[in-house]
Amino acid sequence: MPTLALVATGGTIAGAAASATDTTGYTAGALGADALLAAVPPLADVAQIRAEQLFSLDSKDMRPAHWLTLGRRVRALLDGPAIDGIVITHGTDTLEETAAFLDLTLAAAKPVVLTAAMRPATALSADGPMNLYNAACVAAHPDSRGRGVLVSFGDAIYPARGVRKCETHRVDAFAGTNAGAIGQTDPLRYFTPPPAGGGARVELPPDLAELPRVDVLYVGAGTPPALVDVMIADGARGLVLALPGNGSLPDAWEAPLAAAVARGIAVIRASRAGMGPVGRKPLDDRLGTRAAGELPASQARVALMLALAAGDPALLDLLLGDAG
Ligand code: SIN
């Protein structure tokens, strides 16, 4: 039987409310890892599980420093011969950022699987126990090796890169890129073979305490381009623009962005549309901007933080992939 590590970080999957019918007024991260395991007795037939509580956070309060701590813990667990795979329980709200951070920094064949829940553990028909069971099945399965960091949610398995929370309340809350899920959990099977190259990875200095600041600017009709300079003056070293449509840049933003890029600020065009890629356009060559490719703005931000932390802007092109 495989041995898995369960690393609990909080979230609604560990949430508790006063009433079983309350699915919004609850405290995230209230229950410990042992309580999550105790709610799913069939896990005993899947793997031996060593549980640890790393954080007890509502994931809105997750910060890049937490990603660094989690990444180091996961690395240490993966390096141990006794662990065959890892399940991380997390809040849904910023799961896509943590998943991207781990995937962009960990090179490991052993499965690392994030899962979460939309309903607190105390709710009627809570989705957390089945999600945890499925995630453990994914982490324990030999076909999950060599696929990078995975997200198991509902009945679907997504690669970390491109996954996004796309729904505020319903239980079916995640989507991948337009290519969709790469597998399903009931019965567990993958629709595609593991990727050949495994994707670019960032090697971070071992004692890094923080990541460079990158901000996402949501651009609506008439949003003032002066915000570019405001954010830079406040300390941003990179910007991701959540732009209309397929990353369409309003004309008035061109001059401030070109000036920012000339001052060494990295800028990525992403979309506020929620789904769909943002590909390179001639204006990227003109302004020195980049396109987010298949990554949502939230994950393009993580990629840019990592490229800046590694001091290697060329790495960003690899992290953003072909479409970027
Ligand atoms: C959180 O992200 O920690 C709270 C919301 C959730 O997990 O669904």
Q: Ligand 1 mean position to 117 CA, how many Å? A: 7
In short, whether 149's Cβ falls inside 6 Å of ligand 1 is: no
pLDDT at 322 over 70: no
pLDDT of residue 209: 95
pLDDT at 13 over 80: yes
Treating both helix axes as pointing N-terminal to C-terminal, what angle do 297-310 and 313-320 enclose, rounded to 10 degrees?
150
pLDDT of residue 312: 82
Instruction: Please tell me the number of Cα atoms within 13 Å of 170 on its side-chain side.
Output: 6
Q: Ligand 1 mean position to 12 CA, how many Å? A: 5
pLDDT of residue 227: 98
In order of 63, 68, 99, 299, 309, the CA distances from 302 in angstroms are 11, 12, 10, 5, 10
- What's the pLDDT band for 151 if we cut at 50, 70, 90? very high
Residue 113, strand partner residues: 87, 150
> Active-site residue among 3, 9, 12, 89?
12
Mean per-residue pLDDT for 102-114?
Answer: 96
Q: What is the pTM of this model?
A: 0.97
Measured from the CA of 59, which atom of ligand 1 is nearest?
Answer: 3
pLDDT of residue 313: 74
pLDDT at 131 over 80: yes
Best probe residue, ligand 1, of 31, 57, 59 (max atoms within 8 Å of C-beta):
59
Mean per-residue pLDDT for 21-40?
Answer: 96
pLDDT of residue 196: 86
Q: Which residue, by CA, sits nearest to atom 7 of ligand 1?
A: 91
pLDDT of residue 323: 59
Beta strands in the chain (DSSP E): 3-10, 48-57, 85-89, 112-115, 149-153, 156-159, 164-165, 174-175, 183-185, 188-190, 214-218, 238-243, 266-271, 290-291
Percent of the chain's residues with pLDDT above 90: 91
Q: What is the pLDDT of residues 243-281, one digit of tens each?
A: 999 999 999 999 999 999 999 999 999 999 999 999 999
Q: What is the pLDDT of residues 158-201, one digit of tens each?
A: 999 999 999 999 999 999 999 999 999 999 999 999 998 777 88
Measured from the CA of 60, which atom of ligand 1 is nearest?
Answer: 2
pLDDT of residue 317: 84
pLDDT of residue 50: 98
In short, whether 92's Cβ falls inside 6 Å of ligand 1 is: yes
pLDDT of residue 177: 95
Q: What is the pLDDT of residues 32-81, one digit of tens each?
A: 999 999 999 999 999 999 999 999 999 999 999 999 999 999 999 999 99
Percent of the chain's residues with pLDDT above 70: 99
End-to-end CA distance of the chain: 42
Mean per-residue pLDDT for 291-319?
Answer: 92
pLDDT of residue 108: 87
Determine whether 12 is an active site residue.
Answer: yes
